[in-house]
Amino acid sequence: MKNNLLLIFCLIDCVCYSQPLEIELSKEAIVKSKNFLAQLEKDSAYFYALKSLELANNTTDKKLQSQANTAMANALYRLGDKDEAYVYGQKAIELSNTINDAESLMDAYLIIGNIHYFNLEDSQSISYYQKIDSMSSQLSIQNVTVVKALQNVGLLLLRGYGYDGEDPIILAEKYFQKANELAKKNW
């Protein structure tokens, strides 16, 4: 509890810290934002995402800025502000591309894909999820983002998004199996 109060005090009053301290505080705020999202505490997740973004933008660390933008996009998405979440997700994609950071790019693709999924824009959604799948295969990246993307492709197929010539239910099953195998292998 004492550490949390110290972090909150530092985040609220952070104006003149050195970059290494801002980087560490921003990273910790990103983790806290993710944890609060997992606990469905959306307002707290937003608070920490906002603070991580403020701190990250005071550094030259583009990877951290990308991660903070993705955290903000996720928090806004969960709060129901899909339009603003999209803006932050696109910013994260832009930053990730400038530094060629595949994992940050995949995280940003996931939130943009989720926004399209929510808006019933299946072809756009599946495009982002398949980019994640392709990058995972090409770069041998196996993480929870890939599992979620594969599961979401399966859900889109069950929802009615079809491929020419293939049974969507059989194809969905293949995506679910791939996601399940990846999850079993890595966790």
Other beta carbons within 10 angstroms of residue 9's beta carbon come to 10
Over 60: is that where the pLDDT of 143 sits?
yes
Other beta carbons within 10 angstroms of residue 162's beta carbon come to 12
The SS3 of residue 166 is: strand
pLDDT at 89: 97
Over 90: is that where the pLDDT of 113 sits?
yes
pLDDT at 19: 65
Mean pLDDT of 54-68: 91
70 vs 18, residue with greater confidence: 70
4 vs 184, residue with greater confidence: 184
112 vs 34, residue with greater confidence: 112
Interval 23-41: pLDDT, tens: 777 777 777 777 776 767 8
Over 50: is that where the pLDDT of 13 sits?
no
pTM of the predicted structure, to 2 decimals: 0.81
Interval 73-85: pLDDT, tens: 999 999 999 999 9
Interval 153-183: pLDDT, tens: 999 998 887 666 778 889 999 999 999 999 9
Alpha carbons 42 and 91: distance in angstroms, whole number = 21
pLDDT at 12: 47
Alpha carbons 166 and 150: distance in angstroms, whole number = 17
pLDDT at 47: 87
Over 80: is that where the pLDDT of 60 sits?
yes
Over 60: is that where the pLDDT of 5 sits?
no
Q: What ranges in the chain are assigned the alpha helix state H?
A: 2-12, 19-38, 42-56, 62-79, 82-99, 102-118, 122-139, 144-159, 168-186
Question: At a CB cut-off of 8 Å and minimum separation 6, what does 42 contact?
Answer: 36, 75, 78, 79
141 vs 12, residue with greater confidence: 141
Over 50: is that where the pLDDT of 16 sits?
no
